[in-house]
Structure 1
């Protein structure tokens, strides 16, 4: 009976494996999106640094009021973009945390099912070993009786 219990769980294991694989793929996808957001943030911050360096170079030579206004306006827009990119990164980070929790739950369920199947198989093997030992003992008793008769 235990063997059939393990066999009946096979389709459940297949479904749990599929769910775990899909969750793992989702984790990978979200990690990729977070990495892209980090790269973009790095690029924006690098661009801001370069732009500020340009201000230092131009400022030493003297700049017009119009140039300064354009610089400040563009820097403000760049700061806004950096802030938005940080928010995007935070969103992707939170999303990654959520899908990672789902994957961990699915993985734990799969491992639990695998352990249950293993226990059923071990029980079936033990039961079969006991039956075999009982048959061998009965056979040995018959042989002894036949030897004495």
Structure 2
């Protein structure tokens, strides 16, 4: 098997790996966006309850329960912000892996092209040698 064909196998493997990582990156980015959307919903929900509390005349007992509920919503917001951080870290890590895979694919492709160029040069030299031998035989045949 020629070096070009072996290198093409490496290029194909590298491309498949790059595509898998690209799909993972798309999923990770979608997760970040989904987490951000969920955070916005929680913030909107908390804002609505906060504004309603100010409008309602609640007893001390209900105010305490209401405040506990709002505190739990605030805790959920903090947890969601942490989830966004984790999702973003995962997306960043996957992005670095994708860049590395892309670089690897380009390297393998460059190597394949280098081997192809070398093989063409060898083939050209062989053809030139055959042509020279043919011309030399013809010349000798004409001299005789």
User: Fold-level match, TM-score > 0.5?
Assistant: yes
Matched, 1:6 2:4: yes
Distance 2:135 2:10 in 1: 43
Cα deviation for residue 137 of structure 1 reads: 4.0
1: distance between equivalents of 2:135 and 2:47?
Answer: 90
Q: Could you tell me which residue of structure 1 aligns to residue 44 of structure 2? A: 46
Paired position in structure 2 for 1:95? 90
Structure 2 stretches of 5 or more lacking a match?
none
| CA RMSD in angstroms, aligned pairs only | 2.1
Provide the secondary structure at the position in 2 that maps to 1:131. Answer: helix
Shift of 1:39: 1.0
Q: Structure 1 residue runs of 4+, over 6 Å off?
A: none
* Structure 1: runs of 5 or more not aligned: none
Work out the CA distance in 1 between the residues paired with 2:9 and 2:139: 48
Question: How far off its partner does 1:148 sit?
Answer: 6.0
Distance 2:24 2:83 in 1: 18
- Give the structure 2 partner of residue 129 of structure 1: 124
* CA distance in structure 1 between the partners assigned to 2:20 and 2:105 by the alignment: 13
**TM-score normalized by structure 2?**
0.85
Secondary structure at the aligned position of 1:9 is classed as: helix
SS of 2:2's equivalent? Answer: helix
| Count of matched residue positions in the alignment of Structure 1 and Structure 2 | 144
CA contact (8 A) 2:7 2:111 kept: no
Asked whether the 8 Å contact 2:7–2:112 carries over to 1, the reply is yes
Does residue 64 of the first structure (1) align with residue 59 of the second (2)? yes
Q: 2:111 aligns with which of 85, 109, 116?
A: 116
